[in-house]
Amino acid sequence: MTSDRRKWVSVAEEVATALRVDAAQRDRLGAEPVAEVAALKQSGVLTIADWDTQQAVTRVIAAADANVGHLLGYHYLQVWRSGLFDNPAFDAGDDLFWAGVSNPLDTALDLEPVGGGYTVSGRKTFATGAAVADRLVVSATRTDTGGKLTFTLDARAEGITYAGDWDNIGQRLTASGGVVFDRVFVPEEQVLGGQDANTPRLSLAAIGFQLVLSQVHVALAEGALAEAAHYTRATTRPWFLSGVDTATADPYILATYGELVADTQAAGALVDRASDLLRDASDRGADLTAEVRAEVAAGITAAKVFSTRVANHTTSKVFELCGARATAGRYAFDRFWRNARTLTLHDPVAYKARELGAHYLTGEAAPFTGYS
């Protein structure tokens, strides 16, 4: 680990420590994450440019609060995704928080050409982090040609309103509600470019989203294990038939922790490998081939499939390690499971497994979609 990465990981650990203090209370309130984004800005982590450092910092913070880690991972993703267009006019700015409005199954935004640019109108149902962002990366469809363009906007531009309707059981502090655009002006110079489905490098954005989700899956398992371990050491009582004096000496508890730790570490290693593959593919620029892109997609898909299983299993299993009293509301252990259950439904993991199986058996490449 480089000295610079070590420094930023240390900063992330400080942020994570602060987030853990009131994570349960903030989850219960479910307010917009204004203070959380402010804390990210104050720490300086939004400005990290090194890919591997971004990945490490995202996981550290997501283990403490999966909501904030999700927001941070998507921030890095939107800045990186915007850079894929190689548009010299794009400027990530200093200390700005970025979010995206581009749900691929929700193509309800229309771009109408006007003098000096376009106007965008319509509603997107989900847009993680948009309501608390400084800048947005938006995708919409031209009304004249049917082509899709990606562009940036000031998140407070006239004509943008946020529905505040995110009311799901998990990831409650991700500001993932709807966004409405009412003839919002898009200057020509803020258009990043068109979405060419046949360009391997531009298509990396879709699997970039899958990587961020996989990172947060692993972090959820890590966070649940860390808090469960603290509870087990301090509070869990040994079962009266165990023949031991402490829960930490119970062979069943020890074996279960061992299995969960091994699974979580394996998922983390798989996600790290996927991250390396995507970084290297992105660095190839216009030289990236469809064949290499297919291998990267398969690597990220493997990480997504396994991390999904590990996140859901671990965040549920920790209750058995802590005991019945750990279900008390003040401990809020359920937030890990609720977050994992919500996040892992982002897109059907069964289709990811099918894609991976097809690639392994027949060499079939996953299609270029908003999810693969």
Lowest mean pLDDT among 87-91, 98-102, 185-189, 278-282: 87-91
- Four-CA torsion 185, 81, 49, 157, nearest 10 degrees: 20
* Residue 168 pLDDT greater than 90, yes or no: yes
Residue 199 belongs to a domain: no
* Residue 315 pLDDT greater than 80, yes or no: yes
Instruction: List the structure tokens of 64.
Output: 């403490």
Residue 179 belongs to a domain: yes
Residues 172 and 265 in one domain: no
Residues 145 and 255 in one domain: no
- How confident is residue 202, by pLDDT bands cut at 50, 70 and 90? very high
Residue 264 belongs to a domain: yes
Q: Can you give the pLDDT at residue 179?
A: 97
- How confident is residue 195, by pLDDT bands cut at 50, 70 and 90? confident
- Count the domains in the chain: 3
346: helix, coil or strand?
coil
Instruction: Tell me the CATH number at 158.
Output: 2.40.110.10
Q: Can you give the pLDDT at residue 93?
A: 79
Residues 266 and 307 in one domain: yes
Residues 10 and 67 in one domain: yes
Q: Can you give the pLDDT at residue 88?
A: 83
Of 149, 172, 194, which marks where a domain is finished?
A: 194
Residues 168 and 149 in one domain: yes
* Residue 180 pLDDT greater than 90, yes or no: yes
* Residue 344 pLDDT greater than 80, yes or no: yes
Residue 105 belongs to a domain: yes
- How confident is residue 216, by pLDDT bands cut at 50, 70 and 90? very high
Residues 41 and 111 in one domain: no
Residues 60 and 172 in one domain: no
The predicted model gives 16-35 an average pLDDT of 95
- Count the Cβ atoms, other than its own, within 10 Å of residue 285: 10
* Residue 105 pLDDT greater than 90, yes or no: no
Residue 370 belongs to a domain: no
Residues 121 and 269 in one domain: no
Residues 212 and 124 in one domain: no
Domain that includes residue 351, residue range: 204-362
What is the pairing mode between strands 117-124 and 135-142? Answer: unpaired
* Residue 170 pLDDT greater than 70, yes or no: yes
- Count the Cβ atoms, other than its own, within 10 Å of residue 12: 26
Residues 65 and 109 in one domain: no
* Residue 66 pLDDT greater than 80, yes or no: yes
Q: Which residues pair with 112 in a beta bridge?
A: 119
Residues 142 and 189 in one domain: yes
Residue 213 belongs to a domain: yes
Instruction: Tell me the CATH number at 28.
Output: 1.10.540.10
* Residue 198 pLDDT greater than 80, yes or no: no
* Residue 197 pLDDT greater than 70, yes or no: no
The predicted model gives 1-17 an average pLDDT of 95
Q: Do 55 and 272 form a contact (C-beta atoms < 8 A)?
A: yes
Of 52, 83, 114, which marks where a domain is finished?
A: 83
The predicted model gives 157-181 an average pLDDT of 96
What is the pairing mode between strands 109-114 and 135-142? Answer: parallel
The predicted model gives 47-74 an average pLDDT of 98
- Count the Cβ atoms, other than its own, within 10 Å of residue 134: 17
Residue 336 belongs to a domain: yes
Q: How far is CA 91 from CA 87, 192, 236, 331, 335, in A?
A: 9, 11, 52, 43, 36
- Count the Cβ atoms, other than its own, within 10 Å of residue 127: 26
Query: What pLDDT digit, counting tens, does each position of 119-130 carry?
Result: 999 999 999 999
> What value does the mean pLDDT of the chain take?
95
Instruction: Tell me the CATH number at 341.
Output: 1.20.140.10
Residue 93 belongs to a domain: no
Residues 287 and 268 in one domain: yes
Of 175, 194, 213, which marks where a domain is finished?
A: 194
Q: Can you give the pLDDT at residue 106?
A: 73
Query: What pLDDT digit, counting tens, does each position of 265-282 carry?
Result: 999 999 999 999 999 999
